[in-house]
Amino acid sequence: MIKALVVDDEVIIAEDLAHQLKNRDDWDADFFVDPTIVMAAIEASTYDVCFLDIEMPECNGITLGRLIREKYPEIPIIFSTAFAEHAATAYRLSATDYLVKPINGSVLGEACVRVEKEIAQQKSAGVTPEPNSSSRVIVVKSVGRTDYVKISDIVMGQAAGNYVRLYSDDKEYLHRCSFTTFADQLVPEGFARCHRSFIVNTNKVVSFVRNKDGGDELVLENGIKAPVSEGYKKSLDKVLATAALAR
């Protein structure tokens, strides 16, 4: 299921776009008309793609897109507007697509297919058995090199654009995969989300602390730290308690 977030200050347009997305197989959508509450909504839920209108009061789509890209770099962004001159700025933000209003069904369908293909391609770089071993590994490919990283050695994963930065006991890797796909694969392996952009190996957690800035964070083995957001705190407490009992 692909879950979309639609933001447009005109309620009729926002509602219609969300309705069209819901009519696609394996898609769901929420819509908002107030751009100032969108970041809190993303923090509290899980979205796979954002559709952003550009011309909005208080916080326009470009500004909102920059905030999303900075804090949640793994979320694809599709801009929509009646003004084509914004296209260059949109693409500098690495937007997946740019739709000029009025948006017809075929154009929207093409944009959705791009999102679906990207997710499918990212899933192809998933968890696989290590050759000649029953251990589970992440296959990390780079130019002229392939690393087989044991899942049990991974301490933390962090979203990094179209990649996930993997922290192991003694090394870092850059794995080409969406963070959502990576998290879905690792949760059954004893990992837990602690933030929109961070997932940790519960067996590697040393302590849950309040940092000097007043925020919550996890201290992991080798001194690695991961922020804990309010939206994940309650479920994380339960997961860590269960993991501690199982040790």
Task: For 79-118, write each residue's pLDDT tens digit.
Answer: 988 766 655 565 566 678 888 888 989 999 999 998 888 7
Instruction: Give residues with Cβ within 8 angstroms of 195, minimum separation 6.
Output: 226, 227, 228, 229, 232
pTM for this model (two decimals) = 0.53
**From residue 137, how far is each of 9, 16, 81, 140, 147 by CA, in Å?**
45, 43, 43, 9, 9
pLDDT recorded at residue 42: 87
Which residues of the chain fall short of a pLDDT of 50? Answer: 129-135, 245-246
pLDDT recorded at residue 133: 37
Nearest to 155 by CA among 186, 129, 185: 186
